[in-house]
Amino acid sequence: MAALKVGVLISGRGSNLQALLDAAAAPGFPAKIVAVVSNKADAGGLERAKRAGVPAFAIPHKDYKDRESFDRAVDACLREHGVEFICLAGFMRLLSDWFIGQWADRIVNIHPSLLPSFKGLHPQAQALAAGVRLSGCTVHIVRPELDSGPIIVQAAVPVMPDDTPETLEARILTAEHRCYPLALRLIAEKRVHVEGDVVRVDGAAPSADALFHPKAV
């Protein structure tokens, strides 16, 4: 089976991009990163892509009159490089309904919370303010509503009593770097099936283990 050709959209340093690049470089991985696009010319992730030998492009959103015209430029770039599927990795732009429609159920995002809780900006601070004991990350199919769509993979991490948004972010990020390559592998192996607002994963082995936090002593 030919490797799934993936485009990654970024805006910043690209740590999740690096996790995807590393996974895709492994023998037998069923997906290949064929293009990286950033809306910011100074995004550190562009250099990560170049070091990996992946074509990298800056398409500054400020050069376009509106969201859809920018999205059309991104769409053209992705199609020129044969992209079949899109991963958002710290891409800090809302996508237009037009773009999402063009790539229906072929865009995934990773968000640093256990969706549907704590959507939008600063989810780690939202989690701390709510006093939750567990937070985590979610890989999901992108739909027009912000941080919504069928969930593919989630990972939970404990929230510590002395956590700050920064320490919680770092703990969640470690989980993100495992979740995103896993989700992409499942997608590329054609094991992910979108059924309305729910994802079914063929051959998945759900864990029955429960994580209790705090534990009684």
**What pLDDT was estimated at residue 204?**
79
Claim to verify: residue 125 and residue 75 sit in the same structural domain: no
- One domain, residues 115 and 180: yes
Domain count, the chain: 2
Q: What is the pTM for the complete model shown?
A: 0.96
The reply to whether 68 and 149 lie within a common domain is: no
Q: DSSP letters along 140-153, please?
A: EE--SSTT-S-EEE
Within a domain: 43: yes
The reply to whether 208 falls in a domain is no
Residue 135: Cβ-neighbour burial (10 angstroms; 0-12, 13-18, 19+):
buried
Q: What was the pLDDT predicted at 206?
A: 74
pLDDT number for residue 81: 98
Residue 5 domain-assigned (yes or no): yes
Report the interhelical angle of 165-188 vs 123-130 (nearest 10°): 120
Q: What pLDDT is attached to residue 215?
A: 83
Beta partners for 38? 10, 58
Give the CATH number, domain containing residue 73.
3.40.50.170
Q: Whole-angstrom Cα distance, residue 49 to residue 68? A: 25
Same domain, 7 and 92: yes
Domain boundary among the residues 70, 88, 103 is at 103
The catalytic residue positions are 111
Is residue 144 located within the same domain as residue 186? yes
pLDDT of amino acid 128? 98
Are 162 and 142 in contact by the 8 Å Cβ rule? The answer is no
Identify the segments of the chain with pLDDT beneath 70. Answer: none
Query: Residue 6: what pLDDT?
Result: 99
Domain of 175 in residue numbering reads as 110-203
Do 30 and 86 fall into the same domain? yes
pLDDT tens track for 124-174: 999 999 999 999 999 999 999 999 999 999 999 999 999 999 999 999 999
User: Same structural domain for residues 67 and 140?
Assistant: no
In-domain check, residue 176: yes
Residues 122 and 198 in one domain: yes
pLDDT at 148: 97
Would you state the pLDDT for residue 192? 98
Domain end, chosen from 103, 124, 141, is at: 103
Domain boundary among 72, 103, 134: 103
- Same domain for 2 and 69? yes
- For residue 212, the model assigns a pLDDT of 85
Instruction: State whether 138 and 69 are in the same domain.
Output: no
The answer to the question of residue 115 being in a domain is: yes
